[in-house]
A and B are shown apart, each in its own frame.
Chain A
Amino acid sequence: MSDAVSALQGKLAPGEVTIREAGLRGMITLRGDLSDRGPRSVCKSLTGVAFPEQGKANVDGEKGLCWMSPDEVLLLMPYGEVGDALAAIEKALKSKHYLAEKVSDARALIHVEGAFAREVMAKLAPVDLHPGTFGPGDFRRTRLGQVAAAFWMRDEDTFAVICFRSVAEYAFDLLAESAKAGAVGHFVEG
């Protein structure tokens, strides 16, 4: 297999808040009856994290589960593990109605890291990012400027943002520009 490259190949915009394209990440979209034990347990066994509640992401290192909708979950894993994971899903859910598709290459993953990362995100996404409302473990499907995006907090100072590959450059530049413009000074405790 030829070496795959991520959309922005690790592009970096350093600063008080640093924007960094985080490289390749394995991703699988799984749609199905998520109240059912079948999909939940295969998700757990593939990622090693608990199945997320609505609006949450459970992420541990490169692996994780993100709640996308009542019938959709996003599995995160190392890029090279997707093929085996899809096979495992197929085996586990054979008798059930579901859809599992590799979307690793369809996406870009960008990290927003630094003191006022929260405010950089709030400049672009219409999400309640108050520290009392949104913290590590919370996940939103929303938009960033004019494109669809989803994000969660890795820790108190870092957001992980997923967008479509085709608009990775737009999303990166938007984040970099918003970081460069400086803090708002609103989420002081954040």
Chain B
Amino acid sequence: MSTRLADQGRLVNKNKAVSFTFNGKHLQGFEGDTLASALLANDQMLVGRSFKYHRPRGVVASWAEEPNGLINMGKGGTFEPNQRITTTELFEGLSATSQNHWPSLEFDVGAINAALSRFLPAGFYYKMFMYPRPFWKHVYEPFIRQSAGLGKAPKDRDADTYEHFNVHVDVLVVGGGIAGLAAAQAAGERGARVLLVEQTAHWGGRAAVDSPEIDGQPAAEWIKSTVQALEKMDNVAIRTRCMGAGVYDHGYALAYERLTDHAPEIDGPRHRLWRIRAKQIVTATGAIERPLSFAGNDIPGVLLASAVRDYVVNYGVSIGDRTVVVTNNDDAYRTAIILKQAGLDVPAIVDARAQAAGPLIDQARELGIRVELGKGIASVKGGKRVTGVGICTQAGEGAVLEEIACDCVAMSGGWSPVVHLWSHCGGKLIWDADQVMFRPDPERAPTGDKGQPFVATAGIANGHLFTAEVVGDGWAAGRAAAKAAGHMKKGGQAPLGHDVEEGPISPVWLMPQGAGQALRAKAWLDFQNDVKVSDVQLAAQEGFESVEHAKRYTTLGMATDQGKLSNINGLAVLSKSLNADIPDVGTTTFRPPYTPISMGAIAGAARGPMFQPVRKTPMSDWHNANGADNEPVGQWRRPYAYVRPGETVHDAVNREVKNTRENLGLLDASTLGKLIVKGPDAGKFLDMMYTNMMSTLPVGKCRYGLMCSENGFLMDDGVVVRMAEDTWLCHTTTGGAERIHAHMEDWLQCEWWDWKVYVANVTEQYAQIAVVGPNARKVLRKLGGMDVSAEALPFMQWAEGKIGDFDARVFRISFSGELSYEIAVPAGQGQAFWDALMAAGEEFGVMPYGTECLHILRAEKGFIMIGDETDGTVIPQDLNLQWALSKKKEDYLGKRAHERSHMADPNRWKLVGLETVDGSVLPDGAYAIADGTNENGQKNTQGRVTSTYYSANLDRGIAMGLVRNGPDRMGEVIEFNKVDGTTIAAKIIDPVFYDKDGEKQNV
């Protein structure tokens, strides 16, 4: 059984007990425990079930590479699935439940899958579910839904908060082991601004456990004094619980800091995402030990050898009383030695190498440990827990020579450098056959804007397995990075490391070498996704030769651990199957983040009311206080209608439509874009921007203008105003303000950079109010000020002056067909002006109206709306706007495009009015059907509805649409489809439904 030892445990405080629950069971650990070490101290080895076969799963590793220990954390607003127990620090009251089991962890019905495992081989999903077809819906899908999936999705809103933090540094060092500490110190001494991040709560990495000598002192002492030195350096910042998550172009990196996960009682954000701009990045990310592939290597109690000694040294937890160590390298002997020194039994070290010699092996032998060379494990005995191993010769096929009883197996297949961050932005790897590892190729680093390398690796991550090389390499990398970032100050000497000699590793990808199908089908590669040696071999056999294809076919490395333990073993098996060399098969792609980071950290402050900016006009608060039913228009919220008590939204719209035609309406038009275009070449410029002529517009006058893209499609419209000899004001649509501003700047900066034109976006400087209806002039006269008579200010002219007390620009333009003034006042006075109009307008029946009323009024007049009548494929000719296409101008944007054969095609769908025969409202977006069917068997079409409304003024449905040869077919009745399959008949008519002669606006 796994239990707490009396003496060991450098990270735990045995004087402070911490209570927690696992699957409702009350347990105790110590301060400083991870959830994994606390569970193991309570003999809770079984922590979950695998994804596909629901096999019992125990802890394998001691940190981020753990594939099995995934749990649900918390409840309600703090519930989070798939949390890794090895990286979860224990806190008082922690509540965890295991995942992917039913009905209980100990007894899982899904484990029956395991019995059926030979029917669930690699590619099973792709092969089995194709036929017979009905089986998918009735058999396979319910089965998979029941058995697949790990954690549950949270149901409640996240109760925690998160934030981002932006920093710029000269050197970012990722990893606070001895290489990273040395790198940070070296870079810091050179004068560089350094940020050092470490994913765990502790400095020193593996050296703190294995304790080699550095600068003549035990590693732990060196780590302590180096951290103290770094803390004193003003130009060096150091952070624990902060993981380097990703490296991106141009020295951008993300680090993920966990602030309160270990102590939820602390106020403040739970996670902080560091958005770092670094001139140079040093990844001192260490290495991960590889499992060995032997039958039964997934049975709880089989752990990585390094993890077994981590649990002893760091937490004072023994995995078992009798541990068999199985290895292909010297390093695992350290585990045996530490266990033996802790008073635990090590019945044997099973070493796959035929020959091995060196100080560690000698020491093990001196401690009385039996060392079996050239041997392997044929299979592990046990179900939910290891009970023993069968020993065989590594060179053979697995005939068991001897069974050894044990309750723990510590395995080591060698070490794989953590090359993830190096690789994220394009760093390449080389295969080091002597050390049996992929390591970064220093000649092919990720490069920055000038082709300069901006990432270097250091220490074990760089393929240096020994302390002397690790600290020296870290120091050199730090110095070089500081220099590359422009810092040359003289620094101290590189630290000197020393550790015992080790003999060579021997590659072991399958144990025993000649294991037959039965053993291979029980030799796990990917513990979380249930991928075995036999699955990868099957994939190769079936032609999935690319490592990327084999990965997707088998799901190797596709679980939440992203194959940290399985990838190298998997591709080695693949390369053997393909008779290819490992470097020729290559690795799959390393993508950020290194381990999963929370969604909350990615969102930062962008949640709840701040999820997106909501833009407000100076009158938005008034609208909201007066019944506004808002609709989003870009990031604005515009009132759709002002709903009075007892009204439906539809009632309100109808009331507003009638009142504006009969009395007086006010519209908040502040959101419409207002661009000032000024300069000696402004007229020439606007003649290029608009299809119609703007240079000839007299000062004081307004003209409706159309804008086309280079490809001739309508992109915006609005009223252009000549303010002065060299100044125009261009109104754009609400959504067009920023877009058209950028469009203008684009042409000015990139094409016509020598034209003397300046553009300014003054949209928000003004509150603009449309005063609309037969009583519009009356209310303005009542307020007093400038002359707004038909003579002084005729239709399509503008003037500047006073309305009441307000400085105003008054434009006589109309989008409703009514007598209408659009009045701009400084935004700071917008609400006061609105109030003044409401008060003065009372006797004239004033009512505010919303965007739906605006739409109906313009549709009654046959005015087009960008985004309704246009959708990026519509040209002015489609909308019968030929009158706005200047024939006098030599050129304008879109002119050439309009000459293309398809644009000039007489059969393009063109704008018409549509009037249902029965007076009902046409469905929005409905298609006009034509005779026959197309090649897909669908009905042919001859047009579509672009705008459709109920008009309270006409008491019937009105619509506009684009119809093939429409203007030539006036009076013809065509059928539009409905979603229920029936059709609705509508007559093609002129699109101007109301006041065809325009008498009402021109008074």
Which residues of A are in contact with B by a Cβ distance under 8 Å? 1-7, 24, 29, 31-32, 71, 97-99, 101-107, 119, 122-130, 132-133, 145-147, 164-171, 173-174, 177-178, 181-182, 184, 186, 188-189
Contact = CB atoms under 8 A, between A and B. Distances in A.
Interface string B755-766: 010111011111
B805 A177 contact: no
Contacts of B193: 130, 132
Interface string B607-629: 00110111111100000000000
B612 A102 contact: no
Contacts of A106: 762-765, 827
Contacts of B676: 99, 101
B613, B617, B635, B766: residue with the most chain A Cβ atoms closer than 10 Å? B613
Interface residues of B, number: 55
A123 B829 contact: no
Contacts of A168: 616
Given A6-B828, A166-B616, A170-B610, A101 B166 contact: no
7 contacts: A97-B756, A105-B766, A124-B166, A128-B277, A132-B193, A146-B612, A169-B616
B284 to A, nearest CB: 21
Contacts of A147: 613
Contacts of B680: 97
B166 A4 contact: no
Nearest to A29: B760
B806 A102 contact: no
Contact of A123 (B166, B277, B832): B166
Contacts of B679: 97, 99
A128 B764 CA distance: 29
A128 B168 CA distance: 5
B163 A178 contact: yes
B68 to A, nearest CB: 35
B165 interface: yes
B897 interface: no
B375 interface: no
A73 B230 CA distance: 43
Given A119-B165, A127-B166, A184 B272 contact: yes
A166 B620 CA distance: 10
Contacts of A178: 163, 605
Contacts of B615: 164, 166-167
B779 to A, nearest CB: 17
Contacts of B609: 173
A105 B827 contact: yes
A5 B828 CA distance: 5
A124 B613 CA distance: 13
A2, A24, A164, A173: residue with the most chain B Cβ atoms closer than 10 Å? A2
Contacts of A105: 764-766, 826-829
B613 A186 contact: no
B237 interface: yes
Contacts of B129: none
B606 A2 contact: no
Given A105-B765, A106-B763, A123-B164, A170 B828 contact: no
B21 interface: no
Contact of B760 (A101, A166, A177): A101
Nearest to A122: B166
Given A106-B764, A170-B610, 13 more contacts: A4-B829, A5-B832, A97-B680, A99-B759, A101-B760, A103-B762, A105-B766, A123-B163, A128-B277, A132-B193, A164-B615, A181-B163, A181-B268
A177 B827 contact: no
A188 B614 CA distance: 34
Contacts of B829: 1-5, 105
Given A166-B764, A178-B163, A4 B826 contact: yes
B449 interface: no
Interface of B: 161, 163-168, 193, 234, 237, 267-269, 272, 275, 277, 604-606, 609-610, 612-618, 635-636, 676, 678-680, 756, 758-760, 762-766, 804-807, 826-829, 831-833, 836
Contacts of B269: 181-182
A123 B807 contact: no
Contacts of B612: 146
Contacts of B604: 123
Contact of A182 (B268, B766, B827): B268
A121 B892 CA distance: 45
A117 B896 CA distance: 55
A31 to B, nearest CB: 4
Contacts of A170: 610, 613-614
Nearest to B727: A99
B765 A101 contact: yes
Nearest to B272: A184
A178 to B, nearest CB: 6
A122 B829 CA distance: 34
B605 A174 contact: yes
Nearest to B828: A4
Nearest to A189: B234
A181 B807 CA distance: 43
Contacts of A126: 166, 275, 277
Contacts of A169: 614, 616
A169 B826 CA distance: 19
B762 A24 contact: no
A103 B828 CA distance: 11
Given A106-B827, A119-B165, A181-B268, A99 B614 contact: no
Contacts of B616: 166-169
Contacts of B234: 188-189
B166 A165 contact: no
Contacts of B165: 119, 122-123, 184, 186
Contacts of A104: 765, 826, 828
A1 B807 contact: yes
B168 A130 contact: yes
Contact of B765 (A102, A171, A182): A102
A145 B606 contact: yes
A152 B314 CA distance: 49
A102 B618 CA distance: 17
A90 to B, nearest CB: 10
Contacts of B766: 105
Contacts of A125: 166
B454 to A, nearest CB: 17
Nearest to A133: B168
Contacts of A189: 234
Contact of A5 (B161, B831, B836): B831
B273 to A, nearest CB: 10
Given A2-B805, A184-B165, A146 B764 contact: no
Contacts of A129: 166
B833 A122 contact: no
B807 A124 contact: no
Contacts of B636: 166
Contacts of A107: 764
Nearest to A182: B268
A44 B605 CA distance: 40
Given A3-B832, A101-B762, A106-B827, A166 B166 contact: no
Q: 6 closest A-B pairs (Cβ-Cβ)?
A: A4-B828, A128-B168, A99-B758, A166-B615, A105-B827, A106-B764
A27 B852 CA distance: 36
A104 B766 CA distance: 10
Contacts of B836: 2
A173 to B, nearest CB: 6
A152 B833 CA distance: 33
Nearest to A173: B610
B759, B760, B805: residue with the most chain A Cβ atoms closer than 10 Å? B760
Given A104-B828, A105-B765, A106-B762, A145 B610 contact: yes
Given A99-B676, A102-B765, A24 B828 contact: yes
A133 B679 CA distance: 38
Contacts of A174: 605, 610
A37 to B, nearest CB: 19
B272 A165 contact: no
